[in-house]
Amino acid sequence: MHGSPEKGTNATGVPVLFPQENRKYVRMTVPQQSSPFFQQLQLMNGDRGFLANLGGFFCVSCMMGLGNLFSQSLFHQNMAWLLGPLMVMIGLYFFVPYFILLLTHKRSSEG
């Protein structure tokens, strides 16, 4: 029994420690069924990392700025009042799912 890992379950999903050959403990998570909430977050995030989300946020922000410039030059209407709430919503779309998945250790590392 010295070389084999102990079998233990944790119903709360908290990481459990398994002994290894050299008596050091390795942190492992108990496999669980993924809830529909986390499945939806994974679909929203699309396995993008932080830099990909930052790049997407930058590109969408630039497109919104160009749309406002186009609106000002062609229609003589300033849409800056709309850009603030839209920037907040776009930031939430790009970064909240990523950080929730990162903090709950549900983000997959497979490529």
Q: What pLDDT is recorded for position 107?
A: 44
Measure Cα distances from 1 to 6, 24, 48, 66 in Å: 8, 15, 41, 66
Q: pLDDT tens for residues 59-82?
A: 999 999 999 999 999 999 988 899
* pLDDT band for position 26 (cuts 50, 70, 90): very low
Question: Domain spans of the chain?
Answer: 1-32, 33-103
Q: Dig out the tokens for 12 from the structure.
A: 């709360």
Q: pLDDT tens for residues 27-50?
A: 444 345 568 888 888 888 888 899
Q: What pLDDT is recorded for position 57?
A: 97
